[in-house]
Amino acid sequence: MFRVFAVAFLMVLAPPGLAQAHVVESGADLRVTQTFRAGEVTLVVARVTQVPASLRVSAQAIHPTSAALELEVRSLTDGSSSTGSVRVGEDPTALPIGHTGPHELHVRAGDEISVIPFRVLVPGHDPWAMVTDGAFLISGLLLVGGVLTGRLSRPIVGAASASVAAAIVLTVLQPSLPAPPEGAAPVAEVGRPYAQARFSTLPVRPATGAEFTLTLRLTDGSTGRPVDDLAVHHEAPAHLVVTSEDGAVLRHVHPLRTAPGVLAVRLRVPQPGRYLAYAEFERQESGGQLVSGAFEVSGAAQSDAPVHDPAEPRLTPATPTAGSPVTIEVSVAGPVQPWLGMPGHLIVRSADGVHLTHAHGMKGGGSALRFTLTFPERGRYLAWAQYAAEGRLVTRPFTVAVNR
C-alpha cells in the first residue's frame, strides 16, 4: 500500500521521458509518413510490451488509395524476417518478430521501396524493483507477524520501520537508476555532427509535366559517411519542401529512404524555371537541421495544373515587425483532420529563398487555424498554410510584408 502511494507520488514528480520517436516500445506507436508516387501514406507500427510478438502494422492516408503495400520486417540482429501486406484504412497486418533491438521495415508500393530503420524496445528488467519489493515485503511480514502474535515489540517495530525507510529510499532513488529498455541503442555522449546535404535530380534536367526523382544524399560532416540515424519527428524522418522560385508551385513531401543516407521522392511540376528545395530533419540525440539546394526544370508551362485557393489571413499585429512574434489566422472550411500529428502547418519562405520556417497551427477561434511565428528580417515572405479536410490536403498560399 505504502509502495503504491510512493510510486504514484513519484510518477507525478518524475519528468516525462524524452520522446524516442524512432522506436517501437510499450509507450507509443511509431508513425512514419512516406510519399509514394501513388500518394502519401502513414505507416503505423503498434507498440509491443514483450518479445516474441506480432508486430501490428497498418497504413493510414488523408486521401485513401486502393493500392496494397507489401511489407517485410527484418531483424538486424539475426536477419530473420517476416512478410505481409496492408491496404490503407484496412485492418493491420501482423508480422511476427522474435527480438528486441534494431529492425528494418521494408515498404513496397509498385516499383518504389522504402526501408525504415527502427528499434523494438520492451521494458527492461529492473533489479531495484526486486530490492524495493523485498524491503516492503519484509516490513509487511514483520508488522503483520507482530500483530497476529500479539507481540508488537519495539525491536519488531524498529526492524519494520527500517525496512520501510530502506524501501522508500530505494523507491526515491529508482528514477535516477532506471533500467534501460531491452533493445535500446547505446547512448552517445554528445550530439552528432551536422549532416552535409547534396540534392540531385534524375533526369538531371527534369521537364514540366514529366515525373522525375529528387534525391537527397546526407553525409556526416565529420566522417563523410552516409547519415543513417534520422529520428522520426512530426511523423517523418525528413520533411522536404520544394518551391518554384516565384512561389507559385509548392510540394511538401516525405521522401523514401532508398539506401543508407539516401532519401528520394518522385515529383512532377507544372512550371519551368528554378526550384528551391529544403529538407528538415533531426539526427538522433541531436537538434534539428535545415538544408537546401536548387534545380532547374525546362519545358513549357502546363496550363491544366491545379490552382491553389489563396488565403486572406488575419494578422495580429496587422503589420508584422521583424524579430517580434505575429499571430496568423487562416480560416478553414469544414472539419480539419490531423495531418503529421497537427491540425495545420504553415510554411514560410522569404521571397529571395534565404529563409524558410515552418510553424504548427492550433485550432483558433471559430473555424480558423492559428499560427504564431517570428519573421527574421524585413521583406516580402511567401506563405502556404496546409491542412487536411474532406479527404484531401488543402494548400492556401498568401504573402506577408514585414516592414521593419
Interface region with Cu ion, contact rule CB under 5 A, candidates 69-77, 235-243, 323-331, 369-377: 235-243
- 60 beta partners: 42
**Least Cβ distance, residue 288 to Cu ion (angstroms):** 12
User: Which residue is closest to Cu ion by CB?
Assistant: 239
Kindly tell me which of 256 and 402 has the beta carbon lying closer to Cu ion.
Answer: 256
Specify the 3-state DSSP secondary structure of 169. helix
The minimum distance between CB 4 and Cu ion, in angstroms, equals 43
Asked whether position 396 contacts Cu ion by CB under 5 A, the answer is: no
Query: By three-state DSSP, how is residue 339 classified?
Result: strand
181: which 3 cell numbers? Answer: 529498455
Cis omega (within 30 of 0) for bond into 317 = yes
| 337 beta partners | 388
Does 103 bind Cu ion (CB under 5 A)? Our answer is no
CB of 289 to Cu ion, least distance (A): 14
* Dihedral angle over CA of 350, 356, 362, 367, nearest 10: 40
Dihedral angle sign, alpha carbons of residues 199, 202, 207, 208: negative
- Smallest gap, in angstroms, from Cβ of residue 15 to Cu ion? 28
Which residue lies nearer to Cu ion by CB, 181 or 343? 343
- As a whole number of angstroms, the distance between CA 83 and CA 72 comes to 4
Least Å from the CB of residue 342 to Cu ion: 10
In the complex with Cu ion, which residue's Cβ is closer, 201 or 386?
A: 386
Residue 400: count of CB within 10 angstroms of its CB? 18
**72, 83 contact by CB (below 8 A):** yes
Binding track over 191-220 against Cu ion, x by CB under 5 A: ------------------------------
Name the minimum Å distance from CB 236 to Cu ion. 5
Minimum CB separation from Cu ion for residue 249, in Å?
17
* Cβ 195 vs Cβ 218: under 8 Å: yes
SS3 call for 160:
helix
Among the listed ranges 51-59, 110-118, 216-224, 233-241, the one in contact with Cu ion (CB under 5 A) is: 233-241
Q: Toward Cu ion, which CB reaches closer, 38 or 94?
A: 38
**Binding of Cu ion at residue 239 (CB under 5 A)?**
yes
Question: What would the grid cell of residue 80 be?
Answer: 530473420
Find the part of the chain contacting Cu ion (CB under 5 A) among 108-116, 156-164, 206-214, 238-246: 238-246
Residue 116: CB atoms within 10 Å: 21
Of 220 and 280, nearer to Cu ion (C-beta) is 280
User: Where on the chain is the footprint of Cu ion (CB under 5 A)?
Assistant: 239
